[in-house]
Chain A
Amino acid sequence: LIYCYRKPKTKRAKRFLEKREPKLKENTKTAMLIRGGNANLTVTEVLKDIYAVKKPFAVLYKKKNITRPFEDQTSLEFFSKKSDCSLFLFGSHNKKRPNNLVIGRMFDYHVLDMIELGVEKFVSLKDVKNSKCPEGTKPMLIFAGDMFDVNEEYRRLKSLLIDFFRGPSVPNIRLAGLEHVLHFTVVDGKIYMRSYKVLLKKSGCKIPRIELEEIGPSLDLVMRRTHLASDDLYKRSLKQPKALKPKKKKNISHDVFGTTYGRIHMQKQDLGKLQTRKVKGLKKRPAEKAAEGGGVSPKKAKSA
């Protein structure tokens, strides 16, 4: 809105533009799910299922778009600008790369990272016949396997998947509503994505016992090509504005044992002017008085 050469004439247009401008605290990232020119049934089903998981923060493009993300990124950037989406999932299929999915994210409407994954096995939402969790539940994300830390590409993939499936950032969460969990395991270079419904069973103590029921799409993925952002561009995209940093409370420190200490700064006190008459503990008791002024008591001395 700040850099708008055409001022919006209606309040609705103004709201639309304000939603899209860069802000301190950003909107939840939306994803666009695009079908390539030669997408087959499997890939289309995958896109539809992931749309169901990511609703309402996703847009499913109905028509096929003949582009190649790894060669030419302009059409993806154009779509991102039009629909204000910073995540995308592009599905295609050809003989060399069967059942191909390109998952990626944008920074400032330019492609930041892109990773190509091949779908080896896919079980759709429709094939698993049981009740699912409601749309829009924030899923719990679990990544298992040491490859996610060791290998740089897998680390970026982990960051991409967290970004993709995270959902809105909330301050509070209803504990009974933790129903959905997405579990990613990497074994031998293959990534297994499974989605479960969480059943909280009574256990003796406060923490419930967890039982899982498989729902939702389950994918067996293998990593193919990658197009990762350069280090400095990635660092620039990670930069958060200073205003968002949590304000440090001064004069509070913590102990190893968890005790909180506070510091109070006092002015210099004139100890001669301390009010001691009102402190009962400092008053001389009659026995003390007698012992002290045994010979001379001030009143007697005066009268004499």
Chain B
Amino acid sequence: MAAVRVEEVLAAAEEQEAEKRRSVTVEKELELEFDLGNLLALDRNPPAAASGLRGAGPRREALLRALARDNTQLLVARLWELPAERAGGAGGPLVARLPDPAFRLPREKPPPRPRPPTRWEQFARLKGIRRRKRTSLVWDEQAKEWRRRWGYRRAGGDPARAWLAEVPEGADPEEDQFARLRREKRERVARNELNRLRNLARAHRAGTAVPAAPLHPTGHQSREELSHVARVARVSTASLGRFQPRLPKEPAEPPSRSGGRKRRFEPLLGNLAAERSRQLELLRDMGKKKPVLDITRAVNKQLRQEEAEAAAAKGKKQSQRGKRGRRQQRVGRKSKKSGGRPQQ
């Protein structure tokens, strides 16, 4: 008898467990699709009990609510399965880590374009100049404390209150030095602004380059434009226009831009001043002790170019080959370095 009771008790306990689990399980024909990063659930099942949903009134609301309850239960079950941790120590709230959103939604703005380098950036890259990290505070001897490099209460004192302006060696003694300093600062500011605008214009032009615009037919094109377009169209075939038959009224050979001459010479008796300056320059260059071509500079430039190319190639090869490629490259580079130094 005791055994029977034990069995009964076990069966009852199992019943209870199943009951509890039933309360959180939901039966669906088709599985839902989940995008947990967006807290999104997509139910593909055609709306069941459609007749109930058609009729207006509280019955429809009840059916909608039941459907919503089932779907929400499934979504919450999935969310509870995510790896969770206690934020802010043991007593903090339970926080789940969401995956990245999977549903593709269009962007607000197009992705940012990489801007072309400014003139200084190009020069720095060419010369191999790298940015030095500067300290934000500088020691001021006068005030015996650390002050900013520039701005409010800067290290060298306020430049507007400079009461002394030395007259430099070769300058006119009557000249107003304060006015000169102010003028030079204004010029510097203007030059910086001009360069900034030039860099911007170059970036803008590079971004919105539309090379094909003049080649599209508008209807108001002149004779020259049309002939230019026809010439470009002729050369735009796979064999660069070599086997292109001519139109009935097209000239047999394309009229060359130089007018039939391969070499051009200046007229004999033309610009006297230009001729004079050219001859004098030639004499000057012949008489100079220093060579016109600075060998050291040229060689350095060549070396730097080679280094840059090697670095670019190495970077590409590294990403392609991986570890083994890096090992081989290093061995190869050592030998190249020893052979490439100029003997000076």
Contacts and interface: CB of A to CB of B under 8 A. Distances in A.
Contact of B105 (A24, A149, A163): A163
From B17, B112, B204, name the one whose CB has the most chain A CB atoms within 10 angstroms. Answer: B112
Given A105-B106, A172-B95, A175-B95, A212 B112 contact: no
B334 interface: no
Nearest to A235: B106
Interface in B83-117: 84, 87, 93-98, 100-101, 103-112, 115
Contacts of B124: none
B41 A142 contact: yes
Contacts of A173: 39, 79, 95-96, 98
Interface stretch (A67-75, A238-246, A252-260): A238-246
Contacts of A181: 68, 72, 75
A22 B111 contact: yes
B80 A142 contact: no
B193 to A, nearest CB: 8
Interface stretch (B20-28, B150-158, B298-306): B20-28
Nearest to A206: B80
B44 interface: yes
A238 B106 contact: yes
Nearest to B105: A163
A119 to B, nearest CB: 15
B47 A187 contact: yes
Nearest to A236: B110
Given A141-B38, A185-B64, A204-B20, 15 more contacts: A26-B108, A27-B108, A140-B39, A140-B41, A140-B75, A142-B71, A148-B42, A183-B67, A187-B54, A194-B65, A200-B76, A207-B24, A212-B68, A236-B110, A239-B111
Give 3 closest A-B pairs by Cβ, nearest first. A204-B20, A237-B106, A241-B111
A22 B109 contact: yes
B43 interface: yes
Interface string A127-152: 00000000000111111111011000
B111 to A, nearest CB: 4
Interface residues of B, number: 62
Contact of A5 (B37, B76, B93, B200): B200
A5 B201 CA distance: 9
B229 interface: no
From A27, A105, A183, A200, name the one whose CB has the most chain B CB atoms within 10 angstroms. Answer: A183
A11 to B, nearest CB: 12
Interface of B: 16-17, 19-21, 23-24, 37-47, 50, 53-54, 61, 64-65, 67-69, 71-73, 75-77, 79-80, 84, 87, 93-98, 100-101, 103-112, 115, 196-197, 200, 203-204, 323
Interface residues of A, number: 76
A188 B47 CA distance: 10
Nearest to B323: A265
Interface stretch (A58-66, A106-114, A286-294): A106-114
Contacts of A23: 109, 112
11 contacts: A3-B203, A26-B107, A140-B41, A142-B42, A142-B72, A159-B106, A166-B38, A174-B87, A174-B94, A178-B39, A183-B64
